[in-house]
Amino acid sequence: MESLKESVQYIKGIGPKRYALLNKLGIYTIEDALYFFPRDYEIWGNIESVSSLKHGSESSTVVEFRGPPKIIRKKRLTIVKWDAFDDTGEIKCVWYNQPYRRNIYSSNKKYFVRGKIDKRYGETQIVMPTVEEYHPQKHDVPKIIPIYPLTKGLTQRDMQKMVYGALQKINNQLYDFLPATIRKEYGLAEKNFALYNIHFPKNETALEEARRRLVFEEFFFINMGLKLIKMETQTEEEGIKFSWTHDEIDDFIDSLPFKLTDAQFRVLDEIYADIKSGKNMNRLIQGDVGSGKTILAAIALYCAVQSGYQGAFMVPTEILAKQHFETFVQLFAKRDVTIKCITGSLSQSDKDALKVDLRSGDIDIIIGTHALLQEDIEFAKLGLVVTDEQHRFGVRQRATMLSKGKKPHMLVMSATPIPRTLSLILYGDLDISIIDELPPGRKAIKTYHVPPSIRNRVYAFVRKQVGEGRQAYVVCPLVEESEKIDSVAAVELFDKLKNGALKGLNVDLLHGRMKGQEKERVMEKFSKGETQVLVSTTVIEVGVDVPNATVMVIENAERFGLAQLHQLRGRVGRGEHQSYCILIANATSKEIRERMSIMVHSDNGFVVAEKDLELRGPGDIFGIRQHGLPEFKIANLARDMDILKLAQQAVEKVVNTRGNPEFDEVMEYIYKEFNAKTLDIVMN
C-alpha cells in the first residue's frame, strides 16, 4: 500500500526530466500512473507479408535483415537504413538519429517489425519501426497495445514502460476495496487483474472485464461516498422542526395572483414533510425554466419565518438577487416580514447596518449573492438556506452557508434539467423533487435554426418585433470559458449591430466584466422597456424575467451546450406574446445539425438534457468540477448507465446490511478516501 503514494521517480528510467513531463499529464505517484488509463488501443499481430503492406498504414511484418546497414549522415542527422526481406518482397527499415540500431540486429534471425509504411520511389520503407526478435508464440497472436494521451517529449513507448514499471511496483499486491461478495455477485474482476489488463490486456475479453470492473469501481466509490455523507448529515443530530400557522401560509398562497400548478403543490408537500419532520431537509428542486420555483422558495422561507427562524436565499448573480428581492418585497407587501438584499456593491455603511440587523434577528429574510458567505455575516437564528441555480455554487459554498446556523434546512433549486440517473450521482447527497409542468397559458416558443448567411434577415425580424413594441436579446458567441474574452466579443457585436443591422434602435450591452451597479442599471432599463435590444454574454442566462422580451437570438449557437441553449431560450416566452428563439449556427457537421434539430423540435428541458448526454457526454452539460466531485477517469456516463445502476444497487446493499465486517471495511475505506478527494477538489 505504501508504494501507491510513492513518486513515479522510483520507477526505473524516470529521471527528473521525464518526471517533469509526466507531471504535466498529472502523474506524480504510482497511483496516478496506474489510473492514467489508455485513451485507445491498437491491435498488433495480424502479421502481413511484405508485398501486401499498404502505404500509410501502421503494420506488422516478420523479416530478416540483409546486412550491412547503410549509414547516411546529413547535417545533424544520422540515418540508418537497413534492407530486410521475407518470401514475398523487400522492405527498408529506416531510423533517424538512432545509430545504435546498426549494431543490435543480426542477419541470421527473424524479427517482428512494426511501424508506419511509406511507399515511395518504388521502394517500401518502414519508418522508425519497433523491432523484436520473432517468437511465434508471442507474435502470432494478436496483441493489444495501449495508446496513452501524451505530452510533447514523451512517446507511447515511454508511457508504456512507465506504467509497466508502476504495475511491477505494486506486484499484484494492491488492496481491493470491493468486497469479494460484491465482486462475485456482480461478476467483477479483481483489482490487480483489472489494472494490469486495462493497460496490457491479455486479450479482448480480459480488456472488457478490466474496464467493466474499473467503471463499476468508479461509480461505486462516488455513490458510496455521497451516500455516507448524506447518512452523516441526516443522523448526526436532530434537525430543526418547523411549526407554523397553516392558515397564514394558506392565506399567503391564496393571495397570489395565480393558482399553483399541481406539480408545484406536490413539491410543496414534499417540502412541508421535510421541514416538520424534525430531520434536516436536503432537497433539490429541479424544474424547467419558468416552471415557478421562486414562489416555492418564498413559501418555504415564509414557513421558516412563521416558525420563528430567519431564512437566507443565495443566488449567483447580482441581477438575480435584485430581481428576487423586488419580487419578494411585492409578495410580502401586506405581511410583517422584513426582507433585505446584500450584494457586493452595497456600501460599507449599509452593509454594516445590515449585519447588525441580521445578528439581532431584525431581518427575517435575506437575499444575496456570494456576499452572504462572508465570515462576518452572522444570523440570530438561521433556519433555512435556499440556493438558486445551484450548479453555480460549489459544495463547499453550500456548506459555508449552512454553517451559519445550527443545522438549518437546505433547499437547492436548479433549472438545469439533468437526467434522473445523473442527478443521482451529482446530487446523491440530496433528495430530489421535480416540477415537470409549466404554469398554464404559456405559448410554446418557436425555435429556428438558421445559417449565418441569412443573419440580416434575422435582424430584420428583430426590428419588426421591436416595431411591434417587443424586446429582444442577442447572445453573442461564447469564445472561451473566460469572462474577459467573452466580454470583448460582446462589445464588438454590440458595436456592429448598433451601427449596422439595428441602427436607430435602443441597443444596450451587458457583460460579465461590467461593475455590479452598471449591470443593474442596464438590466433595469431593459426591464422597464427603455432598451429594445440587449446584446449580452451568458450573464443573462440565469433567472432573468422580462415578460415583454419575445426574441432570443443566439449567435454561434453551435458553441453552446444544449442545456445552456435551453436555459437561454427560457429567457423569452414569459409573457402573453408569441416568442421566438433563433439559433444562428453554421452547420458544418452532422453533430451540429443534429443538436440544432433537437432544440428546434423539443421544448422539454429533460428531453434536451437526455439527448445532450447521448450526443456529447456529461462533461458538457455542466461543469462536473463545480459540483465538487471528481471527474470520471474511465466511466462514460452516456455509455455506462447499466453499470451505474448495478453500482448503485450494490451500494444500497452494502449500506443496508448491518454488521458484515467486509461491508464495514469498505464503508470505512471509502468514507476516508472520499472525504480526502472531495476536499482536494473543492479547495482548488
Interface ranges with Mg ion (CB under 5 A): 543
Q: What is the C-alpha to C-alpha distance for residues 654 and 243, in angstroms, rounded to an integer?
A: 36
Residue 361, Cβ neighbours under 10 Å: how many?
Answer: 15
Position among 223, 291, 487, 564 found at the interface with ligand ADP (CB under 6 A): 291
Pairwise CA distance, residues 626 & 620, whole Å? 12
Q: Judged by CB under 6 A, how many residues of this single chain contact ligand ADP?
A: 16
**Which residue type, as a one-letter code, is found at position 407?**
K
Which one among 115, 129, 146, 287 touches ligand ADP, defined by CB under 6 A?
287
User: Does 264 interact with ligand ADP (rule: CB under 6 A)?
Assistant: yes
Burial class (CB in 10 A: 0-12, 13-18, 19+), 533: buried
Residue 564 interacting entry, from Mg ion, ligand ADP, none, C-beta within 5 to 8 Å by type:
none
User: Does position 321 bind ligand ADP by CB under 6 A?
Assistant: no
The two counts, helices (H) then strands (E), for the chain are 23, 20
Task: Give the DSSP letter string of 460-527.
Answer: HHHHHHHHTT-EEEEEPP--SS-HHHHHHHHHHHHHHHHHTTTTTS-EEEE-TTS-HHHHHHHHHHHH
Amino acid at position 241, single letter: K
* Distance of closest approach, residue 438 Cβ to Mg ion, in angstroms: 13
Q: Closest separation between CB of residue 301 and ligand ADP, Å?
A: 13
What is the rounded distance in angstroms from the CA atom of residue 303 to the CA atom of residue 305?
5
In angstroms, what is the minimal distance from the CB of 415 to ligand ADP? 5
Q: How far is CA 292 from the centre of its chain?
A: 25
The minimum distance between CB 544 and ligand ADP, in angstroms, equals: 9
Nearer to ligand ADP, 415 or 490 (CB): 415
**108-116, 258-266, 420-428, 666-674 -> range binding ligand ADP (CB under 6 A):** 258-266
The minimum distance between CB 386 and ligand ADP, in angstroms, equals 12
Three-state DSSP state, 118: strand
Which residue blocks in 25-130 are alpha helix, DSSP H?
Answer: 30-34, 101-104
Using CB under 6 A as the criterion, what x/- string covers residues 215-254 for binding ligand ADP?
Answer: ----------------------------------------
Residue 32 or 545 with smaller CB distance to Mg ion: 545
Binds ligand ADP by CB under 6 A, chosen from 38, 69, 290, 477: 290
Interactions with ligand ADP, residue window 166-195 (CB under 6 A): none
Query: Is the CB of 434 or the CB of 624 nearer to ligand ADP?
Result: 434
Q: Nearest 10 degrees: CA dihedral of 65, 68, 74, 79?
A: 20
**Which residue's Cβ lies closest to ligand ADP?**
292
DSSP strand pairing (58-74 vs 110-120): antiparallel
Q: Using CA atoms, how far apart are residues 301 and 297, in angstroms rounded to an integer?
A: 6
Q: Which is nearer to Mg ion, 225 or 417 (CB)?
A: 417
Q: Minimum CB separation from ligand ADP for residue 366, in Å?
A: 19
In the bound state with ligand ADP, the residue whose beta carbon lies nearer, of 233 and 264, is 264
Asked if 258 is part of the footprint of ligand ADP (rule: CB under 6 A), the reply reads yes
- When CB distances are held under 5 to 8 angstroms depending on the partner's kind, the choice from ligand ADP, Mg ion, none that residue 512 binds is none
Report d(CA 681, CA 667) in Å as an integer.
Answer: 21
Residue whose entry in the numeric block shows the C-alpha cell 508485398: 51
What grid cell was written down for 125? 520503407
3-state secondary structure of 94: strand
Q: Which of 214, 215, 275, 289 binds ligand ADP (CB under 6 A)?
A: 289
Residue 264 interacts, among ligand ADP, Mg ion, none and using kind-specific CB cut-offs from 5 to 8 Å, with: ligand ADP
Among positions 293, 322, 392, 566, the unique one binding ligand ADP when judged by CB under 6 A: 293
Buried b (16+ CB within 10 A) or exposed e, 136-151: eeebeeebbbbebeee
Q: How far apart are CA 362 and CA 652, in angstroms?
A: 45
Here the cell at position 584 is 444562428
Stretch that binds ligand ADP, among 30-38, 288-296, 336-344, 365-373 (CB under 6 A): 288-296
Residue from 78, 156, 261, 556 touching ligand ADP (CB under 6 A): that is 261
For 130-177, the DSSP string reads EEEE--HHHHSS-EEEEE----TT--HHHHHHHHHHHHHHHTT-----
Nearer to ligand ADP, 295 or 638 (CB): 295
Q: Nearer to Mg ion by C-beta: 227 or 324?
A: 324
- 329 binds ligand ADP per the rule CB under 6 A: no
Binding region for ligand ADP (CB under 6 A) out of 4-12, 289-297, 333-341, 486-494: 289-297
How does strand 40-44 pair with strand 143-147?
A: antiparallel
390 binding ligand ADP? (CB under 6 A): no
Least spacing, CB of residue 328 vs Mg ion, in Å: 13
Of 290 and 417, nearer to ligand ADP (C-beta) is 290
Q: State the minimum distance, in angstroms, from the CB of residue 230 to ligand ADP.
A: 25
Q: Name which of Mg ion, ligand ADP, none residue 545 binds, using a CB cut-off of 5 to 8 Å depending on partner kind.
A: ligand ADP
Binding segment for ligand ADP (CB under 6 A), chosen from 75-83, 201-209, 255-263, 612-620, is 255-263
Cβ burial, residue 153 (10 Å; 0-12/13-18/19+): exposed
To the nearest whole angstrom, how small is the minimum distance from the Cβ of residue 413 to ligand ADP? 7
DSSP 7: B
Residue 518 near residue 524, CB atoms below 8 Å: no
Residue 202 parent element (H or E): none
* From candidates 439, 512, 617, 630, binder to ligand ADP by CB under 6 A: 439
Scanning residues 520 to 559, which ones bind ligand ADP (CB under 6 A)? 543, 545
**Residues of span 401-420 touching ligand ADP by CB under 6 A:** 415
User: What does the binding site for ligand ADP look like in residue numbers (CB under 6 A)?
Assistant: 258, 260-261, 264, 287, 289-295, 415, 439, 543, 545
